[in-house]
Amino acid sequence: MNIEQRARVPGPAVLARKILCTAYIPAPLLESDRLRLQGMHAMTLLKVVGRHLKAGYILKQVECFLGKARIDLLFQDPMGKVRLAEVKASNKIREVHKIQAALYAAPNIDQIVVSTNNEDQVLTPQFIEEIRKRSEDTIQFLSSDPAEAARTYTPHEDSCYICANSSCPFLSKTIYGKAA
C-alpha cells in the first residue's frame, strides 16, 4: 500500500462499519448530539476505570494514541500484561464495537476488551486475527475498486441506522437497521 492509499484508509470507527458494509457513509452528527455522546462516554469511562482498579489493574494511559488511532484506556495487570479497553457508552456490546476494538491490535497489547457501563468482554485472539484479515480485504477492496465498494450494499443493524448513503436500496426499507 502506497502513501496515497494509506491516507484514504478510514479510522477504526468507520473501518469497522465498512467491514460490515463497504458502501457505508457516516451520517453527520449534530453538535448537541456529539456533546451528549461525549458526556455519556466520559461517565462510562469512569465506571470502567473504577471496575478495573477494583479488579487489580493499574491505569497506565487515558485516551492516548496508538499509531494514528486514539484508544480509550490502557491498563496493566499485576503480571505486567497490557490490556486495551475500548469504552462504549452503549447498553449492549454490538458486533461493530468488537470489530472496532480488534482493529487496535498491536504487538505491545496483550489483551483487548470492549467495555460498557456494566460489562467487559474480552476479545479472543482468533476473533482479532479474523478481523485483521477482514480489514486487510476491506482496505484492499476500498482502494482497488472504490466505485464498486461504494455500490456493495450489505445491510447490517450496526451500520444502517447511522448511514448516510442515499443511494443504498436498503436504507429506505430499514429504520434503525430493522425492516420497516
The per-residue pLDDT for range 159-169, each reduced to its tens digit, is 998 999 989 98
Q: Which residues contact 65 (CB under 8 A, 6 or more apart)?
A: 71
Q: Residue 149, Cα to own-chain centre: how many angstroms?
A: 20
pLDDT at residue 12 is higher than 50: yes
Domain ranges of the chain: 3-179
Q: Note the pLDDT tens digit of each residue in 73-117.
A: 999 999 999 999 999 999 999 999 999 999 999 999 999 999 999
- Please give, one letter per residue, the 3-state secondary structure of 101-121: HHCCCCCCCCEEEEECCCCEE
CA gap 118, 24 in Å, rounded: 29
Map residue 61 onto helix, strand or coil. Answer: strand
**CATH assignment of 3-179?**
3.90.320
- Report the pLDDT value the prediction gives residue 119, as an integer from 0 to 100: 95
Helix axis angle for 125-144 and 95-102, nearest 10°, is: 90
Give the model's pLDDT for residue 69: 87
